[in-house]
Amino acid sequence: MRMVPGIVLAVMALGLTACSSGSTTSTSTSSDAATSARVSRPATPTKTQLDCNAGYLAQFTTRQKLAQLLTVGVTGTQDALNLVRTEQVGGIFIGSWTEPALLADKQIDQVKAAARVPLMVTIDEEGGRGSRLADLIGEAPSARVTAQTQTVDEFYQKSLARGRAMKDLGITVDFAPDTDVSNEPDDGVIGDRSFSNDPNVVTQYAGTFIRAMHDAGVGTVMKHFPGHGHGSGDSHTGAVQTPPLAQLQNDDLVPFRGLIGSGAAVMVGHLDVPGLTNGVPASLSPQAMSLLRKGVGYNAAPYNGPIFTDDLSGMAAITQRMGIEDAVATALEAGADSALWISSGAVSAVLDRLVQQVQSGKLPMAQVDASVLRMAAFKGIHPSC
């Protein structure tokens, strides 16, 4: 995806005028969400907006821009401090292995203070088995149980309270909701992480979660585009193939289509989609990124928010193919805006590789700039002139 700088700045200007991590409102019904997505169009940027974007980008070296496109797992406070101080990554990820004191004792405040621009603090907090914060903010049922036992209004209120508790801990982005459509057994790779095998129910409950989290001031990330719910296996353990793209249209892709204008970011899964990626995981596929960006191939509105990858270092669908340096470079070149992986040891080597890709022209600087601006908008950064 090659862009000329002027177009990049024009396309991104609107995104930098609003905070998507709390000020964006999503719908709670699929039909309203789809309508909202289709009528939303970026306004023509002013010269002042363009100048502000250029000024924001000018503060970074090439390496620092690239660091803004990394979201990296940390073991605890010292690991996070070292990562932010030395490389100024754009985001950190709190995993099940992360020392609880980072959040419980407000040590995250030290880490945020070390960042030159606001730092994303991300987590997987879906409820059910996909929970990292049960000991700190209490338990929540799985998505499937939620849709079976709670009304939309009840779910909104419970999610709003959890979102406020997450924000109080220092979390800025939740890698949720799971927007997959699945009828797998509860313990399947998606299973009870999915609200339902009915795409309209998924759209309704996922949209409610997004709205509640944004009202609480926490950003959200829909996953796993273009749909993991009917995949052939678990991308943690090996390659996964979905049904052909044509079969996803009226099923797995419905929630993404309906919620693409909700203000949530999108995580692309490690999914081989016949008729789209043809043997390549979607997280590394320019065709999958283009489908999401343009919307035309699945009858959705264009999407200009940030695209995250799923974990690139701990899932065999990727690691059986390549190492982390190649995976991050391939994902960003394909069109992702933030590469996610779960440990900090390779960050400097990854950045060395990305700088080389920019210098060689394989990763155009205009594309990097566009991604930096998308990530800034998602963090709620408002460049001033």
Positions annotated as catalytic residues are 236, 310
How far apart, in whole angstroms, are the C-alpha atoms of residue 284 and residue 104? 35
- 26, 263 in Cβ contact below 8 A? yes
**Residue linked to tokens 């390659």:** 239
DSSP state of 314: S
Number of H helices, E strands in the chain: 18, 8
Find all residues with CB under 8 Å of 39, minimum gap 6, and list them: none
- 294, 302 in Cβ contact below 8 A? yes
Half-sphere exposure of 361 (CA within 13 A, CB side): 0
Find all residues with CB under 8 Å of 100, minimum gap 6, and list them: 135, 136
- 42, 11 in Cβ contact below 8 A? yes
